[in-house]
Structures are given as C-alpha cells and as structure tokens.
Amino acid sequence: MGEETSGLNSSMNGTTPDHTPSDSHDPGEIRHEIEETRAEMSETIDAIQAKLDPQRVKERLTDTVREATVGRAQYYAEQARDYAEQARTKIEEVATPAVAAIKDAAHRVEEKRHAHDSGLASTQHPQKPGQLKPISEQVVVVFGASSGIGRETATQFAKRGAKVVVAARSEAGLLSLVETIRNLGGHATPVAADVTDFAQVKAVADRAVAEYGRLDTWVHCAAVSLYATFEETTPEEFARLIEVNLVGQAYGAMAALPHLKREGRGALIHISSVEAKRSFPLQSAYSSSKHGIIGFLDALRMELMRDGVPISVTNVMPAGINTPFFNKARTKMGLKPMPAPPIYHPQVVAEVILHAAEHPTRDITAGGASKMMIAMQKMSPALLDAIYSRAGFSAQQTKEHKSQDAPDNLFGPIEGFNKVGGDFSDKSKPKSISNWLETHPQAQRAIQSAAVAGLALWLLRRRS
C-alpha cells in the first residue's frame, strides 16, 4: 500500500521510480506528430502498393524479358556468324578439290571420246574424224522449202556454200527458190514431193545422192495447220495433220538415215514448235502432232547412241514466226489467224538450224518467247492454262475476216505464197538474244555458272 502511494505521488510530481524527470509535452504537439507519422505511413503504404501494381509489375517483367531476349539474340547472332564462317571455310576446303576432280574427270572422258571417235573415223573417214562437216562442204536436203522457214533456211545454206536439194509440194515455189539461189551463185536442185508419200520422200534423198554424191544434213520443215476448237475438228482433218506433221517427219528420217549412215556422220534436224512442249487452244491436232515429234526423235536418238552411229538428232522449237504459214492454214474462227506474239522473222529459226548442222545439238529453241514458255510450262502448267484460256484465243486472231471456205493447203498446195515472210513484218523481231545464247553454249554456261556462284554467295552472306 505504501509502495503504490509512493509511486502515485512520484507520478504526480513529474518523476518516475528509478528514472530521471522527463520534459512535459503539449497535447497539440502530440497530435501533430501522430498525424505526421500517419501521413508517412500512408505514403509508404502507397509506395508499396504502387510497386505491387499488376500493370507495373507486368511492364517491368516485359522490359526484363526484352533485355534478356535481345542479349540472347545478340549472342546467337555472334554464334551464327562464327558457324557461317566455319561453314564457308569448310565448303571451300571440300569444293575446291571436288571441282578440280570433276574437271579432271570430264577432261579424261572427253579425251576417251575423242580417241574413240578418231579411231572410228580413221577406219571409215580419215579426213573428218567424228565431226559434222562445215556447211560449205555439205549436201543438204530442206523439205518444206517453198515458203517460210524452209525457204529462208535453204537460201542461207546456199549462201554458206552448201549444195542444196529443196523439196515441197509446190513446184512453182521450188523453181522460184532455185532461181534465187542460183542467182546468188549457189547450187540447188528442186524435187516436188508430198511428205505423206514415203516413196516420194525417199526419192528426194536418193536424188540428193545421185546429184551430189552424198547426203550430210536433212532438214524437215514441212507442216500444215488448222485453227478450230477440238469439237469443230473433223476426224479427217485431225488425221491429216498427224499424217503431214508427224508421220511426214518420220518418213523424212527413214529416207535420210541409210545415206547418213553410209557417210558415217550427219545431222537430222526436225522443226517442231514451242507447241511440242506447250499446247495452244484452237490447235489440238497441231499440238498433238508436234508433241509426237519429240517422242519419235528421243527414241531414235537412243537407238543411234547404242549403235555408236555419230548422227546428230535435233529438235528445233520455234516461237511465233512471220511466214505465209498463217495465210495458208485452214481456219474455222471466222478470222484470219496469226502467230501468238511476240513474232520473229524466219531468219531467227534459220540461224539455229545452221548452227545445229555444224554443232550436234539435242533440243534448241528459236526466239526467246519459246524458251520462256517452255520454262513456264515446267514451273506451272496450270498457270499457263489459266493465261491461255483467257488470252490464247484472241492472241491468234487478226481482225481480218476469213471464211471457212477460203483456200488452204491442208490437203494440197496453193499458189501465191511462195515467199519467206508473211503479213506481220512490221511486228516481227529480226534478232533474238536467246538465239545468241543458244548458238554460243560456252557463253551460256559461263553466265549460268556466274548466276549459281552469285546465288551461293548471297545465301552465305544472308546466313551470316
């Protein structure tokens, strides 16, 4: 009791047991301090809540991830550059000896082939071992020579010094051609013949041998055409195109082969069309006949290779050419037909034919449009179907009316068109860059090699 009283008294006197006296505080000041403390605590709580806000947390996490991703990407990019450099070094290490080995092997193969050809020629034809003769030393048959491509080709052969036998159904066309050639100082002999009669075709080959002693090159140009939908084409018309354009080509090879074999070398040059690879609307029969040419030439070529007979077999595929062919064609369109643009001069085809007569060539196009269409056909035939189903009809028609009953050369010759050019000289191209590449294969290979090397370099740079 005494201790409690003493403690109470001490409190009232401003003292505490075992403590020193403390300063007195005004109640107002105490409240102020309390309010300040509460404000500070509120700010702290707000700061903590701000730091824990989901949106800000997400933003901070995104920034962190982005920084980490960029850093990792930079790391991988550096690694990729290192790998690309290692790969390039490895490719060079492997490719250099491989290319050298391939060149060496090709050189050895060429040496063996040359030795084989030289050995074969030494027993049969020591003067010209295993090679096609220069045009100036050749005897050439051009079948289908009365107009167009054939007429231009025969003239160019004669200008280069070849002795030429020209054949076609139109005797008047042949006589005028021979006169032209002789006026140029050349040698030419006309033989009227129909390609659908093998006896007449054989007579042309025999006449060449009888007149000039041998046969070196056979050029087969003869063809006819029909412009009509398949439903409008009669069985007789379809069969006629196959007979002239395909069977006639086979007859030509059959007639020429015995003489070429006897000579021990030579060239079979057959003119098909870009339509041997890519059909056009309104030409079902024509396209069929041209497709067939590839089939029989490919088979013949392999048989000659097996027998070791050095006879070159060439398929020439022209684009649209400005010749009287379109004036003479039968049409059921009601309009005069024309070659699908772009159109080329007949000399564009004659150039590649003369090239093939001296340089063995398997397939060759005439006119860049032909090469382009064949390439597109390989990449996307469906795309060309869509294009030609819309534009292929009008592209083959002029605005000039032509009756279905107008004269045509489907079943017999018609006169008045014994010339080289047709009615589209103002639209035809006299030259073709594609032709130059076709007739300069070394330049073509160099350009292709440069393109491949450029692509490889671009890929390596892109990887790095």
Domain membership of residue 426 (yes or no) is yes
Domain membership of residue 71 (yes or no) is no
**C-alpha dihedral over 207, 268, 183, 175, to 10 degrees?**
50
Domain membership of residue 315 (yes or no) is yes
What pLDDT shows up at residue 18? 45
User: Which are the contacts of 128, defined by CB distance < 8 A and separation ≥ 6?
Assistant: 121, 265
What pLDDT shows up at residue 380? 94
Specify whether 76 is catalytic: no
What pLDDT shows up at residue 120? 41
At residue 305 the predicted structure's pLDDT band, cuts being 50, 70 and 90, is very high
pLDDT in tens, 112-145: 554 444 444 433 333 343 589 999 999 999 999 9
Domain membership of residue 370 (yes or no) is yes
Domain membership of residue 108 (yes or no) is no
Looking only at the bridges linking them, the beta strands covering 311-318 and 363-366 are parallel
Report whether pLDDT(105) > 80: no
Predicted structure pTM score: 0.70
Three-class SS of residue 362?
A: coil
Report whether pLDDT(3) > 90: no
The residue segments making up the domain with residue 295 are: 132-453
Report whether pLDDT(285) > 60: yes
At residue 32 the predicted structure's pLDDT band, cuts being 50, 70 and 90, is confident
What pLDDT shows up at residue 214? 96
Residue whose C-alpha is closest to residue 263's, from 359, 131, 154, 360: 131
Tabulate helix, strand, coil % of the chain (nearest 5). Answer: 60, 15, 25
Determine the Cα–Cα distance for residues 285 and 362; give it in Å rounded to an integer: 25
Q: What is the mean pLDDT of residues 387-394?
A: 94
- The values of phi and psi at residue 446, to 5°, are -65, -45
Domain membership of residue 314 (yes or no) is yes
Q: What is the mean pLDDT of residues 45-53?
A: 61
Catalytic residue among 212, 227, 251, 286: 286
Domain membership of residue 32 (yes or no) is no
User: Which are the contacts of 242, defined by CB distance < 8 A and separation ≥ 6?
Assistant: 285, 288, 289, 292
Report whether pLDDT(19) > 50: no
Determine the Cα–Cα distance for residues 174 and 151; give it in Å rounded to an integer: 9
Domain membership of residue 194 (yes or no) is yes
∠ CA 173-177-179, nearest 5°, is: 120
User: Which are the contacts of 44, defined by CB distance < 8 A and separation ≥ 6?
Assistant: none
Q: Which two tokens stand for residue 219?
A: 């050029």
Q: What is the mean pLDDT of residues 54-82?
A: 60
Helix 171-183 and helix 148-159, axial crossing angle in degrees, nearest 10? 30
Determine the Cα–Cα distance for residues 381 and 400; give it in Å rounded to an integer: 31
- The values of phi and psi at residue 143, to 5°, are -95, 130
Contact (Cβ atoms closer than 8 angstroms) between residue 290 and residue 284: no
Determine the Cα–Cα distance for residues 145 and 164; give it in Å rounded to an integer: 10
User: Which are the contacts of 280, defined by CB distance < 8 A and separation ≥ 6?
Assistant: 287, 340, 388, 392, 396
Q: For residues 4 and 157, which has the higher predicted lDDT (pLDDT)?
A: 157
Q: State the CATH number of the domain containing residue 207.
A: 3.40.50.720
What pLDDT shows up at residue 440? 72
Q: How many structural domains is the chain composed of?
A: 1
**Of 122-126, 216-220, 311-315, where does mean pLDDT reach its minimum?**
122-126
What pLDDT shows up at residue 256? 98
Report whether pLDDT(149) > 50: yes
Residue 13 burial (CB count, 10 A): 9
What pLDDT shows up at residue 96? 53
**Of 54-58, 294-298, 309-313, where does mean pLDDT reach its minimum?**
54-58
Q: Report which secondary-structure segment, H or E, holds 312.
A: strand 311-318
Three-class SS of residue 24?
A: coil
Strands annotated E in 324-404: 330-331, 335-337, 343-344, 363-366, 397-401
Which region, left, alpha or beta, applies to residue 128 given φ > 0 means left and ψ of -120 to 50 means alpha? beta
At residue 25 the predicted structure's pLDDT band, cuts being 50, 70 and 90, is low
